[in-house]
């Protein structure tokens, strides 16, 4: 938890709250009107795993965690809740299923009604996604040509086919961010961000395509005029309802009527909190490196990139087009990779003694073994990693892809674990480079990478990514750019700023720039990148 003195907080008249619901926790950050983070609160949330690829959560638990995190953040800053101008929400793109009166419905074989969320990373709908893709409907052009099982229409089709009683009993199907704004205000408005990026809403035409839903087997939703998935679609940051309802305000410890902005997906909030730094948004690629990774590229005109989601209109920066890539497993892929090594147990014990995470420990050890951060690539030696444990989100849109590790020997020591960690980070970087190159070949060219997310907080990681991609990596002045992005949405809803772009320009700033290395280091990365691509290709062929 971060906090400042009450005296400093008292010197400000108005405050902004940003709430981020990630895969494993709900966090709240309280900011002043300069974008300074004053305090945070955090509560863990539960992931329920079933056999196969089923992953679920509870909306009741998540809302409770949000309320506790907000109360903690406000209390830590010593701020009068009446001076909180607004609250904004972001969340993972998970599917929430509610019955009449907002009661939870069981989305899986556990039959537990509290488990009413199909989590973004749940891949139960791979078959449904493949059948949808085989039909080749025109709306797929706006998701890179292929829909992902992480998106909502394959999951809805899975529900209809496997749990029709739940599908029929559902009153509303929400993206998680839209559930949060509904729970806060009672307003059923959906965000352009959520429904355009994950539900096939055509924001540039301001409509759903009923033919698509009928063709794939979800004609019921079209016949109901989309009443269960969203009839009023608004841009992120639009005021929702009349602000917090008395019930929600009491639960959050805030004032009824506090402005609430239409929300967005968590990675996109990271984009809002970062791409406004050091130049126009179209020159910066927002890279959110957390459990998964997301790349977000803004353009003035639509750019169609095979295998990269989008182009989406007004899904992140209002009035601009967005292309979204990334990987389903990034920080999670590094954790999975390290777990296989014989020295992982010893390293975790050492990390616990020092009070740090395992990746933090290994980043520290790598930094001590190399003369510079750029030199650390040599620690990887002959180890090569294609970290696609959960498929390739972009640029191949291949959920069946799997990881490849080459060059393993008989070593069992901590130094070899460090080498594997560095090789894994390089693999993440080469996957990022592949997305950047693919987008550039279609006309979406970027100059810089602006990084956010917990897995990207270490200087070693930032430098390795810069070297692996050949692009400068910028770290922002805000230590919590995703929370800042959510707070920006609320600030616009409260009319503290005229629009999202104005708030981005005012509240975001650059901290440091990590320039890519040249010379022999650049040549080594070029060679390793070619090896990455070859291993990736061979893995596809033998599969």
- Residue-wise pLDDT tens for the chain (543 aa)? 445 444 444 445 899 999 999 999 999 999 999 999 999 999 999 999 988 789 999 999 999 999 999 999 999 999 999 999 999 999 999 999 999 999 999 999 999 999 999 999 999 999 999 999 999 999 999 998 999 999 999 999 999 999 999 999 999 999 999 999 999 999 999 999 999 999 999 999 999 999 999 999 999 999 999 999 999 999 999 999 999 999 999 999 999 999 999 999 998 998 999 888 777 889 999 998 988 899 999 999 999 999 899 999 999 998 999 999 999 899 999 999 999 999 999 999 999 999 999 999 999 999 999 999 999 999 999 999 999 999 999 999 898 999 999 999 999 999 999 999 999 999 999 999 999 999 999 999 999 999 988 889 899 999 999 999 999 999 988 889 999 999 999 999 999 999 999 999 899 888 899 999 999 999 999 999 999 999 999 999 998
d(CA 240, CA 332): 34
Instruction: Tell me how far apart the alpha carbons of residues 59 and 46 are, in angstroms, rounded to a whole number.
Output: 10
Enumerate the domain spans of the chain.
6-264, 283-477+517-543
User: Does the domain at residues 6-264 carry the CATH identifier 3.30.420.40?
Assistant: yes
Token digits for 312? 């989406």
The token pair that represents 321 in the structure block: 């087009």
How many CB atoms are located within 10 Å of the residue 61 CB?
Answer: 17
Q: 298: which residues sit within 8 A by CB, 6+ positions away? A: 271, 275, 281, 282, 284, 316, 317, 320, 321, 322
CA angle 332, 338, 339 (to 5 degrees): 90
Q: E-strand spans in 300-363? A: 309-313, 321-327
Fold match between domain 6-264 and domain 283-477+517-543: yes
Task: Determine the topology of domain 283-477+517-543 in CATH.
Answer: Nucleotidyltransferase; domain 5 (3.30.420)
Q: What angle do CA 89, 456, 428 make, to 5 degrees?
A: 115
In this prediction the pTM is 0.87
Query: Distance between CA atoms of 405 and 91, rounded to whole angstroms?
Result: 32
């Amino acid at each position: 938890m971060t906090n400042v003195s009450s005296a400093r907080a008292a010197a400000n008249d108005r405050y902004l709250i940003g709430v981020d619901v990630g895969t494993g926790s709900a966090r709240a950050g309280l900011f002043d009107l300069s974008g300074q983070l004053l305090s945070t609160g955090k509560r863990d949330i539960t992931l329920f795993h079933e056999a196969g690829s089923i992953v679920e959560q509870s909306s009741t638990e998540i809302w409770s965690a949000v309320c506790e995190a907000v109360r903690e953040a406000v209390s830590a800053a010593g701020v009068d809740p009446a001076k909180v101008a607004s609250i904004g929400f972001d969340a993972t793109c998970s599917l929430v299923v509610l019955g009449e009166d907002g009661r939870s419905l069981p989305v899986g074989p556990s039959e537990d009604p509290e488990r009413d969320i199909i989590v973004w990373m749940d891949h139960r709908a791979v078959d449904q996604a493949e059948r949808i893709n085989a039909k080749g409907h025109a709306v797929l052009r706006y998701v890179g040509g292929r829909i992902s099982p992480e998106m909502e229409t394959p999951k809805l089709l899975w529900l209809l086919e496997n749990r029709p009683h739940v599908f029929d009993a559902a009153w509303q199907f929400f993206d998680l961010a839209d559930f949060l704004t509904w729970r806060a205000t009672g307003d059923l408005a959906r965000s352009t961000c959520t429904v355009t990026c994950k539900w096939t809403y055509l924001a540039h035409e301001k409509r759903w395509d009923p033919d698509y839903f009928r063709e794939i087997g979800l004609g019921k939703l079209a016949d109901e005029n989309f009443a269960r998935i969203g009839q009023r679609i608004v841009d992120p940051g639009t005021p929702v309802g009349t602000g917090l309802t008395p019930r929600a305000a009491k639960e959050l410890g805030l004032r009824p009527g506090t402005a609430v902005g239409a929300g967005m997906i968590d990675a996109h909030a990271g984009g809002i909190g970062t791409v406004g730094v050091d130049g126009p948004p179209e020159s910066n690629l927002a890279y959110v490196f957390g459990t998964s990774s997301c790349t977000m590229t803004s353009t003035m005109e639509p750019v169609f990139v095979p295998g990269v989601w989008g182009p989406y209109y007004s899904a992140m920066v209002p009035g601009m087009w967005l292309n979204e890539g990334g990987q389903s497993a990034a920080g999670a892929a590094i954790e999975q990779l390290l777990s296989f090594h014989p020295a992982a147990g010893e390293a975790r014990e050492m990390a616990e003694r020092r009070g740090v995470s395992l990746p933090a420990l290994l980043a520290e050890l790598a930094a001590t073994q190399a003369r510079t951060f750029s030199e650390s690539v040599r620690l990887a030696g002959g180890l090569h990693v294609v970290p696609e444990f959960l498929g390739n989100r972009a640029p191949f849109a291949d959920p069946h892809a799997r990881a490849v590790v080459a060059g393993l020997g008989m070593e069992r020591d901590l130094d070899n674990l460090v080498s594997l960690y560095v090789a894994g980070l390089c693999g993440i970087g080469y996957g990022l480079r592949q997305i950047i190159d693919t987008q550039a070949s279609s006309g979406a060219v970027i100059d810089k990478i602006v990084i956010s997310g917990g897995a990207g907080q270490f200087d070693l990681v930032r430098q390795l990514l810069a070297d692996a991609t050949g692009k400068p990596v910028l770290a922002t002045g805000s230590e919590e750019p995703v929370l800042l992005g959510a707070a920006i949405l609320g600030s616009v809803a409260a009319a503290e700023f005229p629009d999202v772009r104005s708030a981005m320009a005012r509240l975001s700033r650059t901290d440091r720039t990590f320039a890519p290395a040249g010379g022999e280091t650049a040549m080594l990365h070029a060679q390793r990148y070619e090896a990455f691509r070859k291993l990736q290709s061979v893995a596809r062929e033998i599969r």
